[in-house]
Every structure is written in C-alpha cells, then in structure tokens.
Amino acid sequence: MRLYHRWDGPADAPSLLLSNSLGTTHELWDPQIAAFAERFRVLRCDQLGHGRSEAPPGPYTVEQLGRALLELAPERFSFCGLSLGGAVGQWIAGNVPERVDRLVLAGTAAHLGPPERWIERAKLVREEGLVEVAAGSAERWFTPNFGNWVHWRDGIAATPREGYAACCDALRDWDFREQLGSISAPTLVVVGEDDPATTPDDARFLADNIPDAKLVVIPGARHLVNVEQPEAFTAAVLDHLTA
C-alpha cells in the first residue's frame, strides 16, 4: 500500500523513522526535523489512511500499519512514534527486534481503553465526518495555554474519513500489554504531564514492563507533547538516540 513519505538529513547518517498520531500527518514532526536531520537520515510518512497516503477501506490493524512502514524502512533504524505511531513502534520493536536500534514511545500506551470507545468514534466519523471529533481532540491534545490549536483541529478535520475510522478500528483491537517484554531495543518513554489521552500512568506501565526502559514526564504539555514543548521533547529524544 502506498504511503506518502519523505527523507531528510544526510544519506550516510544512521536512519530514524518517525510515525505520526491519529489525525495528523508527517508534519507532526516539523518542530523536531531540523535537529533530528543534523544527526540522522530521517524518514517521515503519512500514516495509512492519512494525508497523502492511500486510504483503503478498513478496518486496519496496528500490524498492518507497521508492515506498511517496514516496506519503506532501511535494514536497521531507530524509531520514534507518538500515540498511534507509538503503538506501531511497539509492534515493530516486539516483532522485528533485529531491525530496531533504539526506540522512543511518546504519548502512547500498550492498551488504549475499552473497545467501545473506538467503536463509537469510528461509527461517528463514518456517518458524520470529523468536525465534532476534531474539536474534542484539540482540547485533549493541548493545554489551555497553547495558542496554535486551530491549525491542528483543522488538520484532523481534513483527514480522510475512512482512513481515520479504520485507524480507530486498529486501536479498538490494540493490546500489547503481554508482549512488552519482547522489546529489546533501548527504550525511552515520553509523556506530557497533563496528557488525558495516554496518561503518565500509561507511560509508567510501559516503562515498568519494557526491559530497562526510561521514562521522561514533560511539564506543561498534554497529548502532542512534541508540539507543545518542542525544546524539552527534542532534547530528551536526542539524548536517548545518541547515547
């Protein structure tokens, strides 16, 4: 399946894959790309069903999203994913550990709530579109002090309806809690201190159950921690990836 993607950084640098959240595109990583591309050959993609990527009918699975990324990936790479992208990172690191050098899981969880939550959201989006979902997501993504939330709300609303709903189907079935011990790559877990979607408790569960994982909690941020606190996020990730 065709994924829109782009490369940044020197061709001979170590590879870094970035995987975006539900309702965003590769532009989610714009705050980090200049710093990351100084050290890495960076691959960014629009998730299946998002942006300029193909949006086949759902349902999708996290495994399907992971395999689509692996088709573009070099033989070895580090990986940084946020939210849905973090679920993809867990699947990849647990199932093809020989390909992952270092792993960053941001604003994500091994299990994302009861299936009914995602069933209802997918149904709403398929029947009525994304306007209502976009408004609610923006509130969960940023603290009240963040000033540019309209841009992100409009980005959610522009996501292909079926692509968004099919990724909700993937999250409906996502549960990696029993497989976290299979992740062997050195792992950093990052979470916004005020994240109501994937909470600090969710992040601690990841860090406690992935061997030797480290946890960083960033103040003044909700779900899109890399956007709301870009300097703190970038510094923490680069410290881990270049250790």
Domains recognised in the chain with CATH numbers: 5-241 (3.40.50.1820)
- Per-residue exposure over 51-73, b if at least 16 CB sit within 10 Å of its own CB, e if not: bebebeebebbbebbbbbbbeeb
CA-to-CA distance for 42 and 74, rounded, in angstroms? 11
Nearest to 100 by CA among 224, 27, 186, 167: 186
CA of 145: how far to CAs of 22, 47, 157, in Å? 22, 28, 22
Residue 5 CA from chain centroid, whole number: 15
What percent of the chain lies above the pLDDT cut of 90?
91
Distance CA 116, CA 2 (A): 30
Please report how the helices 131-141 and 115-128 are oriented relative to each other, as an axis angle in degrees rounded to 10: 130
- Say what the pLDDT of residue 215 is: 98
**pLDDT tens digit sequence for 193-210:** 999 999 999 999 999 999
Are 9 and 37 within 8 A, CB to CB?
yes
What pTM was computed for the model? 0.97
- Give the model confidence (pLDDT) of 100-127 as tens digits: 999 999 999 999 989 999 999 999 999 9
Determine contact, residues 135/156, Cβ cutoff 8 Å.
no
